[in-house]
Each structure stands twice: as structure tokens, then as C-alpha cells.
Chains A and B, each alone.
Chain A
Amino acid sequence: MNPRIVAIRAGVQRGRIEFRQTATSPGEILGWLWMPLIALVVMYVLSDTAVPGTDFSLGSQAVPGILAMNVVFSALLGLAAVLTMDRGDGTLLRAKATPNGMLGYLTGRVLSRAALSVLMLLIVLIPSAFIFEGLQLGSAVAWLRLAWVLALGLVATLPVGAVLGAVFSGPQGLSLVSFLVMGLSAISGVFYPIAALPEWLQWIAQVFPLYWLGLGMRSALLPEAVVVAEIGESWRTVEMIGVLGVWVVIGFTLAPMVLRRMARRESGSNLEARRQRAMSSMG
């Protein structure tokens, strides 16, 4: 059989094993969930406030945005973090020493991160359905729309995560990125409709996938009437697909180049040098 197909199949097995390892580790799951959980609590407190121009609860309105933020954290930052860690402990070098191992490794990591992102979305969404009123979870259409928006969001954010994980060699770089994502969350209409922000901030937010993923999730989960709070009083589905599609193209163009460069540089002595640096920075 074609060696690359064999490697992709092994990668699927790898993804299953890694998913099981993370999904059965409460500490790790909580590590990715505390932010959305805190956000939900805050929004619950704001349940009685109405979205401007409607009588819809601001708390409920924020749930889809929090889900989108959670996807960006668990998929984009999550993949970047595991790539950095796997370089530090030699997992990546092991993949390089195995025939077609890099292909299998990446397949596994991408699939397990995608599956974990879906799992974490459900962990946040299902309790929210009971706590927050007005989410359209009764209809199959809403779930279907949620599913494809989520799929598009994952395909747009995972390759970017791989690029960041390959570019940054240590946790410092990644903390910077997660700081930026938090800042982006503040201006991307996650908690409050973006129309309330100055126009230049709106433009910045609309460059990045987080705003569009949140918009798509709102279009799936919120009643039609709430659309008046959005820019142009529209869910702008075509624009959403367009911008996320551009991110898909950017990610899939950059990721192979950057990952190849990362793989080429991997060697035992580089690994040892990183280990020494890590030890001396701890000491």
C-alpha cells in the first residue's frame, strides 16, 4: 500500500489515542475550559440586560460568541501549544525518525485537536441550553448550521495554530499569542455587539476569524430578531464564508512551508540544547 496512506491511517489511530488521553484527563480539560466557564458566569449575571434594540437577553446573546472564542482557544492555541511541547520533549524528532512519521504525527494532532474542540464546545453549549433562555437548540436546521460553521472555523484556525506552533519555540511566544487572542476577544463582539465599538476597532476585528466564527454561531443559535444588533442588521453569511475561506487559504499555504522548515531543523542536539535552556531557566 502507498506509504503515505499508511501514515495517514496511523495518524488517525494516533488522533484517537491522543483524544482519549486528553479527554480522560480532567485537569487538562479544565485548563481549556476555565475561561469560557468564567465568561458564562459573568454573562449569566447580565441575563436581565437586553441586547440594544431588542428585548433579547444579553447573556444568551453572548453564548455563541463564547463558543467561538473557545474554538479559537482550543483549536488554534491548543494546536500551537502541543506542537511547541512536542518539539520540547522529542515527540517531533521521533516522528522525523519514522518513515512518513511527520505526516502521521500532524494528522493525529490535527484530528485530536479538532475532536477536542468539538467536545469542549459541547461541554459549554449543553449546560448553557438549560441556563440561558432563547437559544434555538430545538431545530435540526440550527444544529446543522452550527455544525458547518464549526467545521469551517476549525479548518480556518487549525492551520494557523500549526504555523504559530512551528514559529514559536517556547511558552513565552505562545503567552504573547494567547494575550493577543484575549484582546481580540474583547473587540470581536464575543460579549457585546460589535456595533457599539468605534468603527476602526470594528475593522480590525473583522480581519480576524474570531469575529466571523462568532457571527456564524450567533446566526445558528439565536432567533432571527436579534440580527438587528449586528453590523448591517445581517448575519452576512456570504462574507463570513469569504473571510474564513481566506484564512483557510492563508493557513494551508503557510502551514506546509513552515512545518517543513520546522521539521528540517529538528535534531537531537537541538533538542538537547532546548532541554538545557529549559533546565537553566527553571533553576
Chain B
Amino acid sequence: METGDSQNHDPSLTIHTRDLRMRYGTTDVLRGVDMELRRGEVLALLGPNGAGKSTTIEILEGFRRRSAGQVSVLGVDPDRGDEAWRARLGIVLQSWRDHGRWRVRELLDHLGRFYTPYTTPYAADELIDLVGLAKQAATPVGRLSGGQRRRLDVAVGIVGRPALLFLDEPTVGFDPEARQEFHDLVRRLSELEDTSILLTTHDLDEAERLADRILILVAGRIMARGTAAELAAQVAGTATVRFSRDGEFHEHEVADATTFVRELFEKYGTAIGDLEVRRASLSEVYMTLVREFESGRRTEVPAELSEVPA
């Protein structure tokens, strides 16, 4: 193994992994993941269920030992992270159901205490206002609605003013309104101080709304990376052209729609009608990818999403 990243750690990178691998028995869950999260950035790890998102995040959180590869989180190897390192992380998991009998303010005040040797944690009331739970401050945690509970989880995650916040599938099971509110909250958080955020989601729309950059993880590999606009540009190459010729309908998948249509008119002129040109959206390409991956038909990256050269 090469020397750890901590020795030549780039301080502008909150997370840096190289060739991160995870194997359970004979199953490779992560097959060489390289990722970088810059300070203050919101990065979405997007992928279908079973792609390895949760495994990745648990390795980064120091909850799971990797099989191979280099990992640096806030300049430290998570396998060797101490409590001072832990104090700089905020963790929001998929399914917290803990502390049901505690009152909201009581719990935030209690958990904040653990951070006092390392930082000045949020005062419980300030945090309650920030996540919009002022009316529920004295409510037992077990009686919160799903959306309120999730906002409390975020409040707990940031009580120690973390440099890095992990959000694992934060809006699973939300109705559209709760989702919208949650997205607003995450955007507010990313503007606060210098918090870097790594969020996992299987929803492209969520990744596009929240993240500065997106990594698409499929079958334990990063299939594509970039801003939403960069990813969209990668798939913009193909388009579907529909038209009728002499009353008969046709449909073609083409790489260069403009040239195709020009030639179509040069050849058939006024016989062409009902022209429609549609570029495949990123979401269509992603959905196709997910469906094919989940049905086991695809294990490798499609041409539209081949990795951008760095």
C-alpha cells in the first residue's frame, strides 16, 4: 500500500478517495471508486438501490472498514478517526427511530453538550428555529411526523457545526411538499459557514436541485461525474426524430438531428409533415440505465454516459 493521503493531503478537499474497494465474501460492492468533495461543495452520489451508495458513505463515516484503496476525510483516514475527528462530522442516516421519548429541545441540548470541548455547538433553540421545529420544541420525538422527524435528524446532524455533513437518502418517503421544504433546508445549510455536504439519492431530480456536482454510481463504479449541465451535455448528442411522410409515420434515433432534418427536407420536401425533434434528457438516460441495471441486463456504462476525461 502507498503512503496515506494524510501526508500529502490537499486541504481544499474534504473527501478524497482513490480506488476505493469493498468486497463482501466474493461480491464486489465497490469496484474502485475515485471521488473528491471540495470544501463548501454539495456533492450528490446518485445511483439505483444496491449501487453501493450506503456502503461508500459508511466507509467515509468510519462505520465500516474498506477492503482496499485510499480514503481521506477531513485529512484523516476514517479507519483511524478519533473523537475530535468525529466531532467535525454530521451524520443523517436513512432511518433514525431513536430517542422517541425525548423532547425535541431536550435531545438537541443534550447531544450538543458532547461537542463543547471541540467547538461552540448550536444552542438548541437557534437550531430548532433553523430547521423549522419551533412549534414542536416540547413534543416527544416519537410523535413527530415523518418530515418533522427528518428535520430533527438534520438538526442533530449539524448541532456540532460540522465541517462535513452526510445525508443518506434524505427524502425517501416524503410527500412533494415535505420534499420541497427539505430541499430549501439543505440549500440554507450549504450556505451556512463552510459546510461541505455529501448526499446520496436515487433521484436525479433531487441531485440536480441540491448538488453542485453529481457522481453517478452504478454497480460499484462511478459511471459519470460533473455538474448537472455537464452531464446533460454528454447525453444531448442523441435525439429522437418523428415525422410523417405521405401520411405514414416514422421514428428515428439520430446522433445529429439538425443534419438529419436538413437532409430529410432536401430529399422529400413537402411530403414531410408532423415533424418533432426530442433530445433525450439526462433523466431519461438515467432512468433507462437504472432499469437496465436493476433487471440485470446491463453491468457496464452506456455510451451516452461514458466518463468525461478529467
Contacts and interface: CB of A to CB of B under 8 A. Distances in A.
B117 A1 contact: yes
Interface stretch (B105-113, B241-249, B270-278, B296-304): B105-113
B240 interface: no
B180 to A, nearest CB: 25
Interface in A1-29: 1-3, 6-7, 9-10, 13-14, 17, 21
A90 B95 CA distance: 8
B63 A89 contact: no
A93 B84 CA distance: 17
Contact of B114 (A90, A99, A269, A271): A99
Contact of B99 (A9, A94, A99, A101): A94
B113 A9 contact: yes
Contact of A89 (B84, B100, B118): B100
Most buried by A among B57, B58, B115, B117: B117
Given A6-B113, A268-B58, A90 B97 contact: yes
Contacts, number: 86
B63 A3 contact: no
Given A14-B110, A268-B54, A269-B54, A96 B118 contact: no
B93 A268 contact: yes
A36 interface: no
Interface string A193-226: 0000000000000000000000000000000000
Interface string B143-178: 000000000000010001000000010000000000
Contacts of A97: 61, 86, 89, 91
A3 B117 contact: yes
B55 A269 contact: yes
B218 to A, nearest CB: 19
Contacts of B63: 96, 266-268
A9 to B, nearest CB: 7
A111 to B, nearest CB: 14
Contacts of A266: 63
A100 B83 contact: yes
A233 interface: no
- Chain B CB within 10 A, most for which of A90, A91, A98: A98
Contacts of A13: 110, 113
A271 B96 CA distance: 9
Interface in B55-87: 55, 57-58, 61, 63-64, 83-84, 86-87
A90 B96 contact: yes
A261 interface: no
Contacts of A189: none
A94 B98 contact: yes
B101 interface: yes
Nearest to A7: B114
B110 to A, nearest CB: 6
B163 to A, nearest CB: 13
B99 A21 contact: no
A23 B205 CA distance: 48
Contacts of A104: 114
B261 to A, nearest CB: 50
A215 to B, nearest CB: 37
B86 A17 contact: no
B265 to A, nearest CB: 57
A2 B99 contact: no
A275 interface: yes
B64 A267 contact: yes
B116 interface: yes
B114 A101 contact: yes
Contact of B110 (A17, A86, A96, A275): A17
B58 A269 contact: yes
Contacts of A7: 114
A267 B101 contact: no
A272 interface: yes
B98 A90 contact: yes
A99 B159 CA distance: 12
A93 B113 contact: no
Interface string A84-124: 00100111011011111100100000000000000000000
9 contacts: A1-B117, A6-B116, A13-B110, A93-B93, A93-B98, A99-B83, A269-B54, A269-B58, A271-B95
Interface pairs A-B: 3 shortest CB-CB: A99-B87, A3-B117, A91-B98
